[in-house]
């Protein structure tokens, strides 16, 4: 399964590349720290909300969570349901906070 680093994601954002950033943490976690432009669908709700992502099936989706483990689970779910280009953000929001935006809290 493909992964993307926080530096690669930062470059994609700076270049305004087309991708969908899916945050699979719980909603309360999103309010602790977030990456602008992300959409929250908690991993436990993902399968029941796949219809919301139907128009993204052939687009690049980058999945993130706190550390990268829930997003890896979500990545597998998406790939198993016909999504073609899904990448896991290695290290999650905490890695982003460590290496890209240290104004965000680690939790």
Per the annotation, the verdict on 65 as an active-site residue is: yes
Task: Write out residues in the chain with pLDDT < 70, as ranges.
Answer: none
Contacts of 15 (CB under 8 A, 6+ apart): none
Question: 92 and 99 in contact (C-beta within 8 Å)?
Answer: no
| Segment 61-79, tens digit of pLDDT | 999 999 999 999 999 999 9
Strand, helix or coil for residue 30:
helix
Distance between CA 25 and CA 45 in Å, rounded?
Answer: 10
Distance between CA 69 and CA 61 in Å, rounded?
Answer: 16
Question: 22 and 30 in contact (C-beta within 8 Å)?
Answer: no
Return the domain boundaries, the chain. 3-99
* CATH domain 3-99 topology: Oxidized Rhodanese; domain 1 (3.40.250)
Catalytic residue chosen out of the listed positions 65, 72, 78, 86: 65
pLDDT of residue 15: 97
């Amino acid at each position: 399964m493909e992964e993307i680093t926080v530096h690669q994601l930062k470059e994609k954002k700076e270049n305004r590349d087309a991708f969908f950033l899916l945050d699979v943490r719980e909603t309360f976690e999103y309010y602790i720290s977030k990456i602008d432009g992300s959409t929250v669908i908690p991993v436990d709700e993902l399968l029941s909300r796949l219809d919301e992502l139907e128009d993204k099936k052939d687009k690049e989706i980058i999945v993130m969570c706190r550390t990268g483990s829930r997003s890896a689970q979500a990545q597998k779910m998406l790939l198993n349901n016909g999504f073609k280009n899904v990448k896991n953000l290695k290290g999650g929001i905490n890695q982003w906070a460590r290496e890209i935006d240290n104004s965000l809290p680690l939790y």
